Chain A
Amino acid sequence: MSVNPSRQDAHRKPRPWWLGLGVLAMGALWLNGARSIASTTNYIGVGPAAIILAVGMGLAVLGVILITQAMRGELVASPEGEEEAPPSRSAFLLALAGVSIPLLTIRWLGFPLTAMLAFTLVTHAFGSRRTGLDLMVGAVLGSVAWLGFSRLGISLGPFLPLIG
Chain B
Amino acid sequence: MDILSQLIGGFAVALQPMNLFWALIGCALGTAVGVLPGIGPALTIALLMPITAQVAPASAFIMFAGILYGALYGGSTTSILLNTPGESGAVMTALEGNRMARNGRGAAALATAAIGSFVAGTIGTLALTFLAPSIAELAFVFGPEDYFALMVLSFTSVAVVMGRSMVRGFTALFFGLALGTIGIDTQTGQTRMVFGTLELLDGVSFTVVLVSLFAIGEALYVASRSGTVPAAINPLAGGSWMTRQDWARSWKPWLRGSVIGFPIGALPAGGTEIPTFLSYALERRLSKHPKEFGHGAIEGVAGPEAANNAAAAGILVPLLTLGLPSTATAAVLLAAFQNYGLQPGPMLFATNPDLLWGLIASLYIGNLILLVLNLPLVGIWVRLLLIPRHYIYGGIVVFALVGVWGLSTSWMDLLLMCGLGLIGYVARVYDFPIAPVLIGLILGPQAEIQLRRALAVSQGDWGVLVSTPIATMLLSIALVVLVVPPILARLRSRPKTEPAISTG
* A-to-B contact residues, CB < 8 Å: 16, 19, 23, 26, 30, 33, 37-38, 41, 43-49, 51-52, 55-56, 58-59, 62, 65-66, 69, 75-78, 80-81, 84-89, 91-92, 94-96, 98-100, 102-103, 106-107, 111, 114-115, 118-120, 122-128, 134, 137-138, 141-142, 145, 149, 152-157
Contact A84 B228 (CB under 8 A): yes
Contact A99 B406 (CB under 8 A): no
Complexed CA–CA distance, A23 and B390 (Å): 33
Complexed CA–CA distance, A33 and B191 (Å): 10
Q: Kindly list 10 other residue pairs between chains A and B, CB separation below 8 angstroms, not including A123-B391, A153-B54.
A: A30-B178, A48-B190, A51-B177, A77-B430, A86-B227, A88-B224, A95-B224, A98-B397, A149-B406, A157-B409
B417 at interface by CB-CB < 8 Å: yes
Contact A59 B220 (CB under 8 A): no
B375 at interface by CB-CB < 8 Å: no
Q: Which residues of B contact A141 (CB under 8 A)?
A: 394-395, 398
Point out the residue from A16, A48, A62, A155 that lies within 8 Å of B430, measured CB to CB: A16
Q: Which residues of B contact A115 (CB under 8 A)?
A: 398, 401
A20 closest partner in B (C-beta): B171
Contact A103 B405 (CB under 8 A): no
Complexed CA–CA distance, A49 and B402 (Å): 35
Point out the residue from A16, A48, A145 that lies within 8 Å of B398, measured CB to CB: A145
Point out the residue from B164, B167, B178, B459 that lies within 8 Å of A44, measured CB to CB: B459
Q: Which residues of A contact B219 (CB under 8 A)?
A: 95, 99, 122
Point out the residue from B178, B187, B422, B429 that lies within 8 Å of A81, measured CB to CB: B429
Dominant SS among interface residues on chain A: helix
Q: B325 → chain A, closest Cβ, in Å?
A: 19
Complexed CA–CA distance, A100 and B397 (Å): 11
Complexed CA–CA distance, A125 and B397 (Å): 12
Contact B224 A66 (CB under 8 A): no
Given A30-B178, A88-B227, A103-B414, verify A156-B405 contact (CB < 8 Å): yes
Point out the residue from A44, A62, A76, A124 that lies within 8 Å of B460, measured CB to CB: A44
Contact B50 A149 (CB under 8 A): yes
Q: Which residues of B contact A55 (CB under 8 A)?
A: 174, 177-178, 181
B188, B190, B224: most-surrounded residue (chain A CB, <10 A): B224
Of all A-B residue pairs in the complex, the 4 with the closest CB atoms, nearest first, are: A45-B455, A126-B390, A95-B223, A85-B227
B46 at interface by CB-CB < 8 Å: no
Contact B418 A123 (CB under 8 A): no
Contact B393 A46 (CB under 8 A): no
Point out the residue from B222, B409, B417 that lies within 8 Å of A155, measured CB to CB: B409
Contact B164 A125 (CB under 8 A): no
Q: B413 → chain A, closest Cβ, in Å?
A: 10
Contact B216 A99 (CB under 8 A): yes
Q: Which residues of B contact A156 (CB under 8 A)?
A: 402, 405-406, 409
A142 closest partner in B (C-beta): B398
Cβ < 8 Å to A, chain B residues 414-450: 414-415, 417-418, 421-422, 425-426, 428-431, 444, 448
Complexed CA–CA distance, A37 and B175 (Å): 20
Q: Which residues of A contact B425 (CB under 8 A)?
A: 92
B216 closest partner in A (C-beta): A99
Cβ < 8 Å to A, chain B residues 209-234: 216, 219-220, 222-228
Q: Which residues of A contact B193 (CB under 8 A)?
A: 30, 33, 52
* B-to-A contact residues, CB < 8 Å: 50-51, 53-54, 164, 167, 170-171, 174-175, 177-178, 181, 185, 187-188, 190, 192-193, 216, 219-220, 222-228, 388-391, 393-395, 397-399, 401-402, 405-406, 409, 411, 414-415, 417-418, 421-422, 425-426, 428-431, 444, 448, 451-452, 455-456, 458-460, 462
Complexed CA–CA distance, A141 and B396 (Å): 11
Q: B229 → chain A, closest Cβ, in Å?
A: 8
Contact A134 B409 (CB under 8 A): no
A23 closest partner in B (C-beta): B171
A102 closest partner in B (C-beta): B414
Q: A154 → chain B, closest Cβ, in Å?
A: 5
Q: B283 → chain A, closest Cβ, in Å?
A: 25
Q: Which residues of A contact B409 (CB under 8 A)?
A: 155-157
Q: Which residues of B contact A96 (CB under 8 A)?
A: 220, 418, 422
A155 closest partner in B (C-beta): B409
Contact A66 B167 (CB under 8 A): yes
Contact A102 B401 (CB under 8 A): yes
Given A52-B181, A95-B220, verify A77-B190 contact (CB < 8 Å): no
Complexed CA–CA distance, A145 and B402 (Å): 8
Contact B181 A103 (CB under 8 A): no
Given A55-B174, A62-B174, A88-B225, verify A48-B188 contact (CB < 8 Å): yes
Complexed CA–CA distance, A48 and B402 (Å): 34
Contact B394 A134 (CB under 8 A): yes
B221 closest partner in A (C-beta): A81
Q: Which residues of B contact A98 (CB under 8 A)?
A: 394, 397
Given A55-B181, A156-B409, verify A145-B399 contact (CB < 8 Å): yes
B163 closest partner in A (C-beta): A78
Contact A52 B192 (CB under 8 A): yes
Point out the residue from B177, B188, B415, B431 that lies within 8 Å of A47, measured CB to CB: B188
Given A81-B429, A156-B409, verify A138-B225 contact (CB < 8 Å): no
Contact A149 B456 (CB under 8 A): no
Complexed CA–CA distance, A77 and B167 (Å): 15
Contact B390 A106 (CB under 8 A): no
Q: Which residues of A contact B458 (CB under 8 A)?
A: 45
Contact A87 B224 (CB under 8 A): yes
B425 closest partner in A (C-beta): A92
Complexed CA–CA distance, A87 and B409 (Å): 33
**Please, could you name 11 A-B residue pairs with CB atoms under 8 Å apart, sorted by A?**
A16-B430, A30-B178, A48-B185, A66-B167, A78-B430, A80-B431, A84-B228, A87-B225, A115-B398, A134-B394, A145-B402
